[in-house]
Structure 1
Amino acid sequence: MHKFTIDEKFNVVRSAVGDLKRKLEILLLEEYPQQFPPAQSPDLHQETSVCSLSSESAAKSPEPSISSQFSRWADNVTFDLTTAYDRLAITDQNRKVMVSSNPTYYEPSLKRFCISQVLCSQGFSTGCHYWEVITKDSDGWAVGVARGTIGRRDRLGRTESSWCVEWVGPQKQLSAWHRNQETLLRNDKPLKVGVFLELQKTVSFYAITDREMLLHTFEINNSNPLYPAFWLYSLDKNGSLTINHINRK
């Protein structure tokens, strides 16, 4: 005859108690449904971000002003002379880039673009970063981010390693580009564009007036450093982009 061990006896008792508990819960739910409402499942897609606004500020201002929402992450980026296409002139302490009719005599660099593009010197690997670009003085431009390894003949937004919003003046069309896929956005031209980068999560583009209006957001899953990146329409002579100085608060 089999003799039950202490562990086997304990398992039998635990199973019986579990069955009794489940039957009691069912009985209570049937008899008193209002006193025991079903529990809400947690939102598995909701994440807490170190870059998120506080719930208090979001409630006060559903469309926050620039200073309240982004200035804490402001980075005053500058154009990288070693990457600038030779018909792009960099001026104003490396904060303005302009299409030039004549070549600019930069020092030789293997990082230099062979098309009308330029990166910034500052690359970001972690955290949240924000910068603004004045676009009103150009009729053909793209503002975005790219890995430093983007091909020097690859146009911004046409590769897996770059994301951008782009205005093409002759077509009067604003679009978002990534992996050579275009998303049409709107027909009016933003005069200033803000870029908010949350590494390994998203990059968002805003039209800036006295408020921000979201243009487009890309999800990004990238562990490599990302750089502010720019394209200018090469036939738009003297067309320019200027990085707007922002005080971090």
Structure 2
Amino acid sequence: MVFTKPFFMGFRSSSPDPIPCRSGSCQTHQRPLMIYCTSCADSLCDECLTKGGHRGHGLARFKDVLQKQIEAVTRRSKHLMSSLKKQSDVKTNMAKAKAHAEEMIEQTKVNLEKQYQELQELMEHNRQHAFRLLLAQKESLLLGLDTLALQDEQNQQMIVYIEQELQQLKKNACYLDGDSAAALLNVFLLQNKSRSFCFLTSVKTMEDFYKSFKKQMCVNNKRLKGLENSVTQIVQKSKEFLTRPWEFAENITFDEMSLTGNLKISVDKTTLCCATSAPQKEYTKCSKDAVGTILAAQSFTAGCHYWEVEVKDLTGWTVGVVDQDWKKRRLEKSLGEDKTSWVLQLDDNMLFAVHNDEIEIVREPDHFERLGIFLDFSKGLLRFFSVDTGCVLHTFFVKFKTAIYPVFSIKEKSSAMSLTLCKLVPDVDSLYEEAQDEVVTAV
């Protein structure tokens, strides 16, 4: 009886498998096979036994070995059937997971719409009150000016009246002379004491009024400026807070030509992992124990840019940017070792900001799955975010002079662990389909 090495869908038994034998004779001695050596996983003839080469080995009848092989194949068949069943469960669960994801996205969309609506209502409420205050100030200022105009008109009338009274006094005085004139004048003054006092008071009041008239004519705009400054602060704070990095989001991909070390990327050039079986490419130092490095296909020479990297489950990675000079000499320097690279690095559960061979510990208590990178080329700002919490991990302030390239490296040596560039901008087709859906919904 002849036995061949069993192999079924990649499963291996724990005991040695029989060596393939296509004839009933021993290939060494050309004699009939008699027994099976379980130690060597080989079929033996009488000559093999007498030579003593299998002394002390485990021997078994072909019938027993056959039975064990049949049992092994049966077990593997059952395992395969179980795997196939689980595969169908996976598809069902995957469908449920996709449905749940759609539900979560829709709920998030509803929540965002609600929050932005509330924000718009708050702004509108604030705007209405600001213009109400402005209208009240307008009425107050115009009323003050109208009051000045009315006072001026009354003063003009009073001036005319006073001039008439003075003319009358002068006229009366012309007919009086000597002691009798003085006596008559005294009587007149006594009789009109209160009236004369009123004249004097009116003149003094009018003099004071016209002395300060120009000053009172100048409209006090301090309250108006205060209102304008308050709204300006709202605008500035809104710009500061509402300007989120995702406004500058874009999709980036890996540059396969820049790949060094034992790495490989996915077909869509967004996933990076270790190529355990691939030949090692020209290797850069990149970072301690790193497998290799790769640059993004995109580079930046102006403006603001934002991208995200998924680092879930990775225990060692380096993410950041390098300039044109580092790209030219990437085989000479590790990431963060010189002045032309700025990176954030995770190593042994510690997070570091590294530049020019200077290391700064980044204190981030919570584990995060996504890393956000914001680059403002003009202002020379490079900022790293924990996307999960929204907090800033570290900020580099740099005067960029040449083109800037996103750079990536991983420490994992298992192909099961990967670093992924996140898709932040939908495809044109997706945007078109969404627009069409909104039109249909509206109809």
Q: Which amino acid aligns with 1:91?
A: S
Match of 1:57 among 213, 228, 238: 238
Q: How does 1:13-92 map to 2 (within 5 A)?
A: 55=236, 57-58=238-239, 62=241, 69-92=244-267
Rounded to whole Å, the distance in 1 between the matches of 2:414 and 2:283 is 18
Which runs of no fewer than 5 residues in structure 1 stay unpaired? 1-53, 107-111
- Contact 1:156 1:230 (C-alpha < 8 Å) held by counterparts: no
1:203 aligns with 2:373: no
Partner SS for 1:75 = coil
Match of 1:95 among 246, 267, 270: 270
Which runs of no fewer than 5 residues in structure 2 stay unpaired? 1-234, 286-291, 432-443
1:221 aligns with 2:402: no
Distance 1:113 1:122, change over 3 A: farther
Residue 240 (structure 1) shift: 1.4
Match of 2:304 among 96, 112, 128: 128
CA deviation string 1:43-66 (max 9, x = no partner)? xxxxxxxxxxx625357xx5x6xx
Q: Which structure's residues are more often helix, by fraction?
A: 2
Partner SS for 1:55 = helix
Partner SS for 1:82 = helix
- Contact 1:147 1:227 (C-alpha < 8 Å) held by counterparts: yes
> What is the aligned length?
183
Rounded to whole Å, the distance in 2 between the matches of 1:78 and 1:247 is 13
- Contact 1:73 1:130 (C-alpha < 8 Å) held by counterparts: yes
Deviates more, 1:136-145 or 1:229-238: 229-238
Q: Which amino acid aligns with 1:57?
A: S
Match of 1:194 among 372, 385, 398: 372
Q: Which amino acid aligns with 2:359?
A: E
Rounded to whole Å, the distance in 2 between the matches of 1:104 and 1:95 is 21
Distance 1:232 1:105, change over 3 A: closer
Match of 1:247 among 415, 425, 437: 425
Distance 1:160 1:213, change over 3 A: same
TM-score by structure 2 length? 0.38
Partner SS for 2:385 = strand
Partner SS for 1:149 = helix
Q: Which has the higher contact order (CA 8 A, sep 6+)?
A: 1
Sequence identity (%): 27
Q: Which structure's residues are more often strand, by fraction?
A: 1
- Contact 2:252 2:298 (C-alpha < 8 Å) held by counterparts: yes
Rounded to whole Å, the distance in 1 between the matches of 2:271 and 2:279 is 14
TM-score by structure 1 length? 0.66
Partner SS for 2:325 = coil
Q: How does 1:144-159 map to 2 (within 5 A)?
A: 144-150=320-326, 151-153=329-331, 154-159=333-338
Residue 155 (structure 1) shift: 1.9
CA deviation string 1:119-149 (max 9, x = no partner)? 0010000010000000113210011000133
Partner SS for 1:163 = strand
Residue 176 (structure 1) shift: 0.4
- Contact 1:140 1:236 (C-alpha < 8 Å) held by counterparts: no
Partner of 2:284: 114
Distance 1:185 1:113, change over 3 A: same
Partner of 1:10: none
- Contact 1:125 1:226 (C-alpha < 8 Å) held by counterparts: yes
Rounded to whole Å, the distance in 2 between the matches of 1:237 and 1:219 is 35
Q: Which amino acid aligns with 1:126?
A: A
1:212 aligns with 2:390: yes
Partner SS for 1:247 = coil
Distance 1:100 1:189, change over 3 A: farther
Residue 156 (structure 1) shift: 1.5
Partner SS for 1:57 = helix
CA deviation string 1:169-228 (max 9, x = no partner)? xx210010000100001254431100000114110000111x411000001112100011
Q: CA RMSD in A?
A: 2.6
Rounded to whole Å, the distance in 1 between the matches of 2:251 and 2:337 is 26
Distance 1:192 1:81, change over 3 A: same
Residue 100 (structure 1) shift: 2.0
